[in-house]
Structure 1
Amino acid sequence: MVAKTPYTDHSTFPDPVYKDTVLGPLFDGARDHFAHDFQRIDRAHLVMLREQKILSDDQAGKIAKALLAIEQEIDPATLVYTGEVEDFFFLIEKELKARLGADLGGRLHTARSRNDIDHTLFKLQLRAKITGLLGKILTLLETAINKAEAEKDTLIVAYTHGQPAQPTSFGHYLGALIEVLLRDAKRLLDALATVNLSPMGAAAITTSGFNIDRHRMAELLGFNAPLRNSYSCIAAIDYVSGTYGAMELLFLHLGRPIQDFQFWSSFEVGQLYVPNALVQISSIMPQKRNPVPIEHMRLLASQTFARARGMIEIMHNTPFTDMNDSEGETQAFGYQAFATAGRVIDLMTSFVSAITINDDKVSENIRKSCITITELADDLVRNEELSFREAHEIAAHVAKTIVAMNGDLTIDGYAPFKQAFAQSTGRETKMDAERFAIVVSARHFVAVRDRFGGPGDTAITGALACYRDDVSSLRAGLSACSERAASADNLLQSEFNALPGASA
């Protein structure tokens, strides 16, 4: 009996289970998401190798002709993984070798690796997805600014701890939302700057002994520049975590005003009116007006948040090296976050444009809640020379009295105020009933709060102008990225077409 050694291995690649559970899905992902970008990288690398005289004109021309033939004859959408090659990259190389022979067909891969190719593919996809999402966010910002401009004099009840607190304007509320969105958009634009650094030329880890031109590769693919450290190109995944971290924060923050919209549109509060186009009915209760788009915004925002958080958790505790954890299937998982993100932003843009404030309900809620009473205390400090604490106690007594009688502060509040003032100070107030009605009115409350950041006319007008400037700056940054990518596509097409054989 012949003893078996542990080195005897008659298995053949790929193991069928490995093929079905890993290699097949990875191939499908590359086919579905990266086929076009594979072509761009091959073309750019070929142009660079020829310019650097690593390939001759004749070699480059023949490879260019073969690449064109592959693009024209093979529709990636029809490809099915068979296991004959390891992955999508080797399929293309196999096709090149079949047309050109093993020697020439293998020369396109000079001075590069699947490592730098993969991260370049991922960055090209992320760049397109981030720019698309940022475009939608800027449209939402512009819509919100226009709405805030139109509603800067529209009163609402502002709530703290779920209770009526003070009057402000809908424009002022939207300004707060706009400021958060602006910061979130800036974070996403910062993430885009990291994405827009090219890994090409890093090869496996340490670049190459060939005289490659990494800056030229970055230019041909529309990146701002090469990412400097080659180890970083294949190991640093902060372009992934930075992107999805920014998305996670964005949709965490968006969920909060969505919650407010749900609360404001309730029957009991009723200060937000959602038009019929965004309302569904009950199948059994005829009286119901259900603003379910709000729920869908909340749902989709939560799904986006969870998927973005999931991407960061996948990256957690992974080694600082090239590894599959950050690659094909993970990238495809992240794209689901962009899909739901775009739906939320589009829906919120339409929603913000359509909603209005129910002025009658706001007036009634202001009347019932006495939320202008803070200004009475402030006025007593300014004009009656009381301490704020004493003024606060007088105002509190008036508010309790009016709420208990279900009265109207502007109409019914002067008598209890006059009495409380005299009891507290031992003198008569200088304020008459007419002046009292003005001081405790919601319009006056908002108007006198014209400090920097407040809802008063000068403050909110200045803020809206600043927001428009910020959006213009963000749009300029986004446009520069998009224009660079488009120019690079034209440049790459031109340089590739100039190769001998490329147009033959």
Structure 2
Amino acid sequence: MTDTTKFPDPTYRDTVLEPLFDAAKLHYAGPVRAINRAHLVMLAEEGILPRDVASKIARALVEIDAEIDLTKLRYTGEYEDYFFLVEAELKRRLGPDVAGALHTARSRNDMDHTVFKLVLRDKADALMEQAMVLALDLIKTARRERDTLIVAYTHGQPAQPTTYGHYLAAVVEVFNRDGERLCAARGLLDHCPMGAAAITTSGFAINRHRVAELLGFAEPLRNSYGCIAGVDYVTGLYSAMKLMFLHLGRVIQDMQFWSAFEVGQLYVPNSMVQISSIMPQKRNPVPIEHLRHLASMTVGRCDAVVNTMHNTPFTDMNDSEGEVQVAGYAAFDSASRVLALLDALIPACSIRADRVAANMDAACVTVTELADTLVRSEGLSFRQAHEIAAKTARDVIARGVPLRDGFAAFQQAFTDETGRKPGLDAAGFAVAVSAENFVAVRDRFGGPAPAAIEDALNHYTYELGECGEINQLRRDRAARAAGMLETAFNALLVE
């Protein structure tokens, strides 16, 4: 029978405390080390701790870091987590009075949220850097494919001609907006909770700005209650991540559709194709399927974190900590796999011009420009022109010939509608219904014509540069802080 007077209960130990301990030693040892050192430096600089006491603690922290092998640590129930293990080691080496001084004016509450922010900060920075690489490679591929014709689909049906470069530019535009949202969410991680203590700060004259500086934050998070109750840094980050991979999932679905045998306008290279074990003629572009489910898993993992916060109290709570934080890290793992695989796949794929031409011919996708041409050259209303174009399209589809072979049908439809012969001759008709002309005349802001595409790609590159500068400033601040902390902490060692 279980002894209900002794902590921890074995089931609680196995289901909660041991998994938390294992996660802490894997993810949080580095951040806890940095927080211990930054807080100690501040206590010494502000005169809250005598320098000799701070020096003893600093030397003990160095010894603990050198002597404890995290890989060999196993949960025994003696310590709740890595934080308490370090505290116990300090007590063993220095005695309770000196060891306990390190915890002056702080709490597990402000420490936990600072730890989580430090971990998420690094993960978000790595993800944004990877997203930047993909965005630049998408721009490069869009330039390469600027003039490559494709069929654009709406409602699953062939609609109009455009270029693969125009399509990829649209992908980049959305991806850049997703990057901006992620960059903004990353900004929420730049405010340090340290100094909030349990809820209300401290009666000691602590310097919250100094600790924030030493840990590489832009500034302290102001309201101490919000430091331990506000989880918008979590929900905001994972919401932004979710949108990025939800939107990429739509592009991945297009790749699946375009590479289908019946459509066939996207060619996936052999290096990204698996052959059926029984049907040797089948080329299965299964990386696209893996991309689709990995993107969906990322969305689901982000949702799991955000939804866990739903209807929780506005206070310090385990619902935003420990296991929930670790569960969220899996979203970064699958997200990274998606970005890496997309960055390998998209530049390697190509458009099959023969299938594009066949699908354009079969679906009369240029007929809209025939109607537009009639409005411009013949002075017709668009509705009149639309009716003539529709009759022409019905005729060539019924005969199974491409639209360029429909001049006679066009002449008849024009005469029936207007009571006169068209001014557009056979040569002009052929130009009007060509895919190349369709794209070329759409030389408008945001359109598919070459000049418009180049202008757009230049703008997207500029946007990425701005985002890259922000990311670099954040990395530089973290690097400076690491050096500053090392210098200030080492100064305590020589006392």
Normalised TM-score (structure 2): 0.98
Counterpart residue number, 1:215? 209
Residue 391 in 1 paired to residue 385 in 2? yes
Q: Return the alpha-carbon distance in structure 2 between the equivalents of residues 393 and 334 of structure 1.
A: 56
Q: Return the alpha-carbon distance in structure 1 between the equivalents of residues 72 and 448 of structure 2.
A: 59
Structure 1 portions without partners, runs of 5+: 1-8
> What letter is aligned with 1:348?
L
Counterpart residue number, 1:76? 70
Q: 1:422 aligns with which of 408, 415, 418?
A: 415
Q: Is the partner of 2:492 in helix, strand or coil?
A: coil
Q: Return the alpha-carbon distance in structure 2 between the equivalents of residues 379 and 400 of structure 1.
A: 18
Residue 439 in 1 paired to residue 432 in 2? yes
Q: Return the alpha-carbon distance in structure 2 between the equivalents of residues 87 and 441 of structure 1.
A: 70
> What letter is aligned with 2:173?
E
Any idea what the Cα deviations from partners look like across 1:388-425, whole Å, max 9, x if unmatched? 00100000000111111111211x11110011101110
Q: Please list every run of at least 4 consecutive aligned residues from structure 1 whose deviation after the TM superposition is greater than 4 angstroms.
A: none
How many Å apart are 1:29 and its aligned residue? 1.1
Q: Return the alpha-carbon distance in structure 2 between the equivalents of residues 299 and 434 of structure 1.
A: 49
Q: Return the alpha-carbon distance in structure 2 between the equivalents of residues 13 and 93 of structure 1.
A: 19
Q: Return the alpha-carbon distance in structure 1 between the equivalents of residues 390 and 442 of structure 2.
A: 21
Residue 334 in 1 paired to residue 328 in 2? yes
Q: Return the alpha-carbon distance in structure 1 between the equivalents of residues 227 and 451 of structure 2.
A: 50
TM-align CA RMSD: 1.0
Any idea what the Cα deviations from partners look like across 1:300-350, whole Å, max 9, x if unmatched? 001111000111111111100000000011100000110000000100011
How many Å apart are 1:501 and its aligned residue? 4.1
Q: Return the alpha-carbon distance in structure 2 between the equivalents of residues 408 and 307 of structure 1.
A: 48
Q: Is the partner of 1:475 in helix, strand or coil?
A: helix
Q: Return the alpha-carbon distance in structure 2 between the equivalents of residues 87 and 284 of structure 1.
A: 53
Any idea what the Cα deviations from partners look like across 1:205-242, whole Å, max 9, x if unmatched? 01111111111111111111111111110000000000
Residue 407 in 1 paired to residue 401 in 2? yes
Counterpart residue number, 1:4? none
> What letter is aligned with 1:420?
A
CA contact (8 A) 1:30 1:88 kept: yes
Matches within 5 A, 1:118-267: 118-267=112-261
Q: Is the partner of 1:164 in helix, strand or coil?
A: strand
Percent identity over paired residues: 59
Any idea what the Cα deviations from partners look like across 1:230-280, whole Å, max 9, x if unmatched? 111000000000011011111111110100000000111110011111111
Q: Return the alpha-carbon distance in structure 1 between the equivalents of residues 493 and 241 of structure 2.
A: 45
Matches within 5 A, 1:276-295: 276-295=270-289
Q: Return the alpha-carbon distance in structure 2 between the equivalents of residues 183 and 318 of structure 1.
A: 30
Q: Return the alpha-carbon distance in structure 2 between the equivalents of residues 257 and 500 of structure 1.
A: 55
Residue 324 in 1 paired to residue 318 in 2? yes
Q: Is the partner of 2:447 in helix, strand or coil?
A: coil
Q: Is the partner of 1:498 in helix, strand or coil?
A: helix
Matches within 5 A, 1:59-70: 59-70=53-64
Q: Return the alpha-carbon distance in structure 2 between the equivalents of residues 284 and 500 of structure 1.
A: 69
Counterpart residue number, 2:99? 105
Q: Is the partner of 2:445 in helix, strand or coil?
A: coil
Q: 1:453 aligns with which of 422, 430, 446?
A: 446
Counterpart residue number, 1:273? 267
Q: Is the partner of 1:156 in helix, strand or coil?
A: strand
Structure 2 portions without partners, runs of 5+: none
Q: Is the partner of 1:349 in helix, strand or coil?
A: helix
Q: Is the partner of 1:157 in helix, strand or coil?
A: strand
How many Å apart are 1:13 and its aligned residue? 1.5
Q: Return the alpha-carbon distance in structure 1 between the equivalents of residues 445 and 88 of structure 2.
A: 66
> What letter is aligned with 2:317?
M
CA contact (8 A) 1:62 1:501 kept: no
Counterpart residue number, 2:375? 381
CA contact (8 A) 1:127 1:195 kept: yes
CA contact (8 A) 1:65 1:501 kept: no
CA contact (8 A) 1:264 1:270 kept: yes
Q: Return the alpha-carbon distance in structure 1 between the equivalents of residues 319 and 494 of structure 2.
A: 40
Normalised TM-score (structure 1): 0.97
Residue 485 in 1 paired to residue 478 in 2? yes
